[in-house]
Amino acid sequence: MRENVIVRENPARVDELVGSVPVTDPARVDEVVRRADGAFREWSRIPVAERVATLRHAADAVSARLEELATLLARETGKPLADCRGEIGFAVTFLRWTCDRAPAALASLEVDDAAGRLVVRRKPYGVVGCVTPWNAPIILAMLKLGPALVAGNAVVLKPAPLAPLAVTEIAAMLPAVQVIHGGAETGRALVGHRLVRKVAFTGGEAAGREIAATAGAMITPSVLELGGNDPAVFLPDYTLTDADYERLVMASFATSGQVCMAAKRLYVPRARSAEFTEAYVAAAERVLVVGDPLDPEVTMGPVISATAASRIRALVATSAAVGGGRAVPLGRSAPGHDPGSGYFVTPQLVTGLDDHAPLVADEQFGPAVPLLVYDDEDEVLARANAGELGLGASVWSADEERAFALADRFEAGFVFVNTHNRTGMSLRAPFGGVKRSGYGREYGEEGLLEYVQSTVVHAPAAFRPGGGGMAAGAYPG
């Protein structure tokens, strides 16, 4: 980031400039938030049905530009083009799904009976401040923008400096949205503004702590989806086809492993570890193709930055040196691929580590995953639940009832059964973490209701015409 502008290079070809956006000076954030507050006053007065219609038109507009936007997203993030198409298409699907369910979810509750007259309304907060990450910038922004807007809020969005381009284009197609750009100071100015009535953040724990502290100082409610160190536990009876192994590989290495809910620790019964390793490596050879994200054959591109590449390589090297692990290279390179052209890291399966190795204990957020062995169910559950993070987890078993029984004992906000990562998500299923992986939920009706607050008008029967009244010190019956 230069002084007044964020310049984004292509992480697959670092000498290629993709685009730039102006930095919003923290002093100007006040002006932007006030403009958003004015937009809220108008947008919130529009009936829900009309807001839904406007957002449906916006979804159509995004869909019409999908190929252009996907190419831009691939160039700024290093994600394979097919993955970028999928992300934007899914964001459009989510927005339409939100529109489908908003009228019923946002409807008022009205009761007029012997107990009195009660009206409960779902009202928007006002201005919502959204701070979003770079790894899935479109869908993770839309998970906030869609529910917030359909509920009648206005939004000020601050995308991550490492992926500001495509999401800014999409935000411009939505009503009542302002976009600002910058680093931590700009984010603090947004989250701490007195007219911001709700905060939504997805990102790492360190940034999450700062955002939570700033929002807390203003008594501003927030939704935080933070990191995860997701365990995938394979019970002794698991049965995996070649296709299952391929799906499992991508559960760890999609987006070069830079996914909060990726499968980040693989726990396999000791007696089946050799069999598992052989099948996993073979599956990776089939589905992991490293190279330029615009190459249609490529399934894994570079990591986001030189800093990320150095950190991941150091994490693997330290874990192998200290823990005695062995790193097994996975997949293959696309024909003609030059790994020196960008921030490419060879995907690796690391075996032989104990639970104290950094690659196991810390969220790696990159293309390296440890394979760990265990001897009994209680032992593996304790190891899977170790640590302060609790975003996702998965259980793999031929017996679904057994899998669900063990899943109930995980300390995780979302447990997948016989799959992991995005193949196990559902628009209807609320998603979020426990422990230090955050609070609040996205997806499902719960995710929509995060952006409204209940207000009540109540006339107790005792004080309506013909009512008998109540003593001044009485409690309600």
The catalytic residues are: 225, 260
Contacts of 350 (CB under 8 A, 6+ apart): 316, 319, 320, 325, 326, 327, 328, 359, 368, 369, 370, 371
Cα–Cα separations (whole angstroms), residue 269 to 235, 248, 379 = 7, 16, 11
Name the burial class of residue 125, with classes exposed (0-12), middle (13-18) and buried (19+) by CB atoms within 10 angstroms of its CB: buried
3-state secondary structure (DSSP) of residue 114 = coil
Bridge-partner residues for 21, per DSSP? 6
Give the position of tokens 């927005």: 95
Contact (CB, 8 A) for 12 and 304: no
Q: Where are the beta strands (DSSP E) in 203-248?
A: 222-225, 231-234
Between CA 264 and CA 186 the distance in angstroms is 32
Which residue, among 205, 260, 269, 229, has the nearest Cα to 358 in the 3D structure? Answer: 229
Three-state DSSP class for residue 320: helix
**Cross-strand pairs, 268:** 373
Q: Which helix (H) or strand (E) holds 176?
A: none
Strands 438-439 and 326-329 come out as: unpaired
Type of residue numbered 279: A
Burial of 113 (0-12, 13-18, 19+ CB in 10 A): exposed
Only one residue has tokens 């409960």, namely 120
Q: How many CA atoms lie less than 13 Å away from 366 in the CB half-sphere?
A: 27
- How far does CA 432 lie from the centroid of its chain? 8
> Three-state SS for 42?
helix
How far apart are alpha carbons 384 and 406 in whole angstroms? 11
Three-state DSSP class for residue 73: helix
Q: Is the dihedral of CA 63, 67, 73, 76 positive or negative?
A: negative
